[in-house]
Amino acid sequence: MSTTQTLTATTQVTGPESTPDTNHRTTVLQAVGRTYFPLAFVARLPFAMMVVGVLTLVVAGRDSLTLGGATSGMVGLGGAAIGPLVGAWADRAGQRRVLLATAVVHSLLLLGLTAAVYSTASDAAVLAIAFAIGASAPQVPPMSRSRLVAIIRTRLPVARQQRTLSRTMSYESAADEIVFVVGPFVVGVLAAAFGPTAPMIAAAGLTAVAVGAFALHATSRTTAAPATGATAPAAHSTGSQAPVQELWHRRVLVLVAGFVGIGLFFGATLTAMSAVTGDAGHSERAGLLYGFMGIGSVVSALAVSAFPARFSLRARWLTAAVLQLAGAVVVATSDSTGVLIVGLLVAGLGIGPSLVTIYSLGSERSPRGRGTTLMTMLGSSVILGQSAASAATGALADTVGTGAALATPAVAGGVVLVAAVANWRLADR
């Protein structure tokens, strides 16, 4: 199914602040406006450029792979530690105010790190700025999902919500996959053409313009309501929020664990591909190999909406996790570029459905009034895993060799599979 078909799937929805629409021909695309999806796509690109851009900048500016890995890791740590708090703030104060504030601060910090790396600033200062960059990252992907879930759940009849939600989450996951593939590629192109500072400057400008526009879009006022057709409560209404402790329920934490595993897989795979291409004397081709995994993931993510309803969410995740691990094992044991590419494609076919399914489970299990917080927790988990695996796999490749680095995606795939099994058992109970 094409992206256009995904976006225009017939659904009974209305605009963010209108009353329920009984016109069955109304589509999600009509409800949010034609500019929404392109804008939300571009606005999430700086988020995908962040970790790789920081790594590229620090390695080039300080000539230290160890410091570069530690700095990118601090970005992930900042996002994982503070990102959910940013989501909670948005649940209380509304997305518009939070996005505008974080976009300004984040843009300035990106420029500040660029200056600090090429100055006499200490390594500790560089690490501190990197943490702040991760902490202030505008949470566009989870906030986009939160807006769309709110529209679907407050405007659709219950009988049609699940299918529309699956289609919408398929697109959102595919968009994430595309930017996580395109982001490192854009960083590489800009760095090669204009120098290692160019990606950071571009990310700062893109954050200010695209995230600012996303913040001001009319859908930023959309909030979830507990009943179909009911008027949505104000985003800042604390009286409608569930206790924060509900975010630490094991049915939620198992989703976070799954996303940490997927982030580990992204970081381990990208760094391992850098080691492979570096050994061949063509390190700039790492993004091309990594792209094969993205191709499989995007295709399978878009195909999820065609799965039959009897193929339950927990079964989808478990099946996808097995497929992802199988592809990772092929990568680890590959003896040629052709076999390596096959393994990446197979792994990608498992990643796409896992992303869609975990987000769908997250929308089901989101505590009342905590939707943005939960989506932000999931998005931050990916960045944390990616940063940690990038640093660890890089160190492993330097000290042990490329063969050891190629085994790390299989370890990450094992984490995802364990989380899927745990989710199966929790759903059984």
Cβ–Cβ < 8 Å for 349, 327 = yes
> Could you give the dihedral angle defined by the CA atoms of residues 83, 363, 16 and 14, in that order, rounded to the nearest 10 degrees?
160
- Any idea of the CA torsion for 311, 315, 319, 324, to the nearest 10 degrees? 120
Gap between the Cα atoms of 312 and 162, Å rounded: 12
Least confident of 67-71, 195-199, 420-424: 67-71
pLDDT at 154: 73
Is 0.85 topped by the overall pTM? no
Going by pLDDT thresholds of 50, 70 and 90, the confidence category of residue 360 is confident
**Interior/surface letters 135-152, b for 16+ CB within 10 angstroms, e for the rest:** bbbbbbbbbbbbbbbbbb
Least confident of 36-50, 311-325, 358-372: 358-372
pLDDT on residue 204: 95
State the alpha helices, DSSP H only, in 123-157: 123-135, 140-155
- State how far the Cα of 382 lies from the Cα of 256, in Å rounded to an integer: 9
What residues does 27 pair with on adjacent strands? 10
Helix (H, G, I), strand (E, B) or coil at 23: coil
Residue 412 makes CB contacts below 8 A (sequence gap 6+) with: 261, 262, 264, 265, 268, 269, 328, 385, 389
Beta bridge partners of 10: 27
Of 198, 204, 199, 37, the closest CA to residue 137 belongs to: 204
All residues at 6 or more sequence positions from 63 whose CB lies less than 8 Å from its CB, including other chains: none
Token reading at 415: 């984490």
Cα 144 to Cα 275: distance, rounded to the nearest angstrom:
35
CA atoms within 13 A on the CB side of 327: 27
Q: Is the pLDDT of residue 227 over 50?
A: no
- Split at pLDDT 50, 70, 90, the class of 169 is confident
Query: Coil, strand or helix: which one is 309?
Result: coil
CA–CA dist 78, 314 (Å, integer) = 31
DSSP 8-state code for residue 8:
T
pLDDT at residue 302, as a whole number: 77
What is the CATH code for 36-228+245-428? 1.20.1250.20
Instruction: Examine the pLDDT at 5 and tell me if it is beyond 70.
Output: no
CB 57 within 8 A of CB 75: no
Residue % of the chain over a pLDDT of 70: 84
213/336 Cα distance (integer angstroms):
46
Q: At 346, is the pLDDT very low, low, confident or very high (cuts 50, 70, 90)?
A: very high
Q: What sign results for the dihedral spanned by CA atoms 58, 63, 65, 70?
A: negative
CA distances from 371 to 17, 70, 374 (A): 18, 31, 5
For the chain, what is the largest distance between any 2 Cα atoms, rounded to a whole number of angstroms?
63
* Per-residue model confidence (pLDDT) at position 115: 95
d(CA 416, CA 429): 20
pLDDT-derived band at 323, boundaries 50, 70, 90: very high
- The two three-digit tokens of residue 50, written as one number: 């962040």
Considering only 71-80, 149-158, 237-246, 356-365, which range has the smallest mean pLDDT? 237-246
In terms of Cα–Cα distance, which of 270, 275, 303, 304 is closest to 288?
270
Take residue 409 and report the two structure tokens written for it. 């995606």
Structure tokens at 137: 């990252």
Place 284 in a pLDDT band, splitting at 50, 70 and 90: low
409 closest CA partner among 274, 262, 269: 269
Name the pLDDT band for 47 (thresholds 50, 70, 90): confident
Q: What is the pLDDT of residue 292?
A: 83
Please, are residues 252 and 374 in contact by the beta-carbon 8 Å criterion?
yes
Select the more confidently predicted residue: 226 or 290. Answer: 290
What are the φ/ψ torsions at residue 265 (nearest 5 degrees)? -65, -45
Tokens of 22: 């009984």
The Cβ of residue 280 has, within 10 Å, a number of other Cβ atoms equal to 11
pLDDT in tens, 111-130: 999 999 999 999 999 999 99
Amino acid at 407: A
* Residue 287 pLDDT: 66
How many CB atoms neighbour CB 234 within 10 A?
13
At residue 307, the pLDDT reads: 84
pLDDT at residue number 340: 93
Instruction: Give pLDDT tens digits for 414-426.
Output: 999 999 999 998 8
The mean predicted confidence, pLDDT, of the chain is 80
Q: How far apart are CA 192 and CA 186, in angstroms?
A: 10
- CB-CB contact of 134 with 258 (8 Å): no
Is residue 21 predicted with pLDDT exceeding 50? no
Do 46 and 206 form a contact (C-beta atoms < 8 A)? yes
